[in-house]
Amino acid sequence: MKTIIIIAGPTAAGKTAKAIEVAQHFNTAVISADSRQCYREISIGTAKPSPQELQTVPHYFINSHSIQEEVNAGLYEKLALDYAAEVWKDNDVAVMCGGTGLYIKAFTEGIDNIPAAPPEVRQSIQERYEQEGMSWLQQEVQEKDPGFYAIAEIQNPHRLIRALEVLYATGQSITTFRTGNVVKRDFNIIKTAITLPKEKLHDNIARRVQVMVAEGLLDEVRAVLPYREHNALQTVGYKEVFDYLDGKISWEEAVEQIIIHTRQYAKRQLTWFRKDPAFTWFESGTGLLEEVVERIKNSNDFR
């Protein structure tokens, strides 16, 4: 049976290096599961693999789209299944690596068909959120969609904004489009995840942000200013620099906020992946390749 090896975990834990190591062992390719690294125009702030790393093994879903396009979990499901099928033509094993939990879930379990909102609806919500902040967003969702609010990650603005988009566009709660049905895939799925001790992960994040600054993060953000409303840019590393360019904070404050917000994001990633008991966790990736090789060897379905 065809097999996908998933390597997940928080940002700056070392997923890319481990995915390349595993892919080299099986002489196969890596399918990215990162919601921002697919955009050609943003490389520094997304911590994209280096050109050397991208040349080491074939990679899919990196530099595959323009920032002028919208990519979401529904589209990713279709793309990733196609990528995997292409890899499996020549190899029984493919590697998937990334920290976007929703994309990995879409690939492994399928995803509900939730309607996309018109750009003007998305923009109006985004503008209100930027003007009035998180408290407005929470209150709006609580009042307009109390059923969703009761089960929502109320500190996650992306989830709340998406709920409002669906509500404004369709007049229905986002929960009405969620069936909870899990698609049974016809391939073998091995779920692994990498983490580090908290202090080490925090140090890695701080170092990575300083490298981004040195490599030209500010110029990269300036170059995508015309697309600042794009979902991919409403994220850590870009929003803070937009605030600096808008004169709201100093450059030093922007850099410090990127570090803090990235650490908070890493914590949310850990929470997401730890909810799934199918993941086997490895500290710094040690022993991951050996475990994967053993599991494939012992799989009755693998041949």
Query: Average per-residue pLDDT in the chain?
Result: 93
**SS3 of 242, please?**
helix
- Tell me what the mean pLDDT of segment 81-86 comes to: 98
Which residue type occupies 104?
Answer: I
- Tell me what the mean pLDDT of segment 45-58 comes to: 96
Q: Give residue 300's pLDDT band: very low, low, confident or very high (50, 70, 90).
A: low
**SS3 of 278, please?**
coil
Count other C-beta atoms under 10 Å from residue 199's C-beta.
8
What values do phi and psi take at 186, rounded to 5?
-95, 30
Angle at CA 79, nearest 5°, toward 281 and 35?
Answer: 55
**194 pLDDT more than 90:** yes
Closest to 6 measured CA to CA, from 295, 297, 300:
295
Note the helical H segments in the chain. Answer: 15-26, 51-56, 73-88, 101-109, 119-144, 146-149, 157-170, 198-215, 217-223, 239-245, 251-274, 288-298
For the chain, domains (ranges, CATH) are 3-112+181-298 (3.40.50.300), 119-177 (1.10.20.140)
> Which two structure tokens, joined as six digits, stand for 213?
């600054």
Which percentage of the chain shows pLDDT scores above 90? 80
**67 pLDDT more than 50:** yes
170 is in an annotated binding site: no
Measured CA to CA, the distance from residue 177 to residue 166 in angstroms comes to 10
> Which two structure tokens, joined as six digits, stand for 62?
């990196």
Measured CA to CA, the distance from residue 280 to residue 10 in angstroms comes to 14
Closest to 73 measured CA to CA, from 43, 45, 112:
112
Between 156 and 41, the more confident residue is 41
12 is in an annotated binding site: yes
pLDDT of residue 172: 92
Q: Give residue 303's pLDDT band: very low, low, confident or very high (50, 70, 90).
A: very low
Q: Model-level pTM?
A: 0.85
Q: Are the CB atoms for 12 and 41 separated by under 8 Å?
A: no
Separation of first and last alpha carbons in the chain: 6
- Tell me what the mean pLDDT of segment 63-90 comes to: 95
pLDDT of residue 302: 46
Per residue in 236-269, pLDDT tens?
999 999 999 999 999 999 999 999 999 999 999 9
pLDDT of residue 266: 96
118 is in an annotated binding site: no
280 is in an annotated binding site: no
Q: Which helix (H) or strand (E) holds 193?
A: strand 188-195
10 is in an annotated binding site: yes
Measured CA to CA, the distance from residue 123 to residue 174 in angstroms comes to 18
Q: Give residue 176's pLDDT band: very low, low, confident or very high (50, 70, 90).
A: confident
Measured CA to CA, the distance from residue 206 to residue 210 in angstroms comes to 6
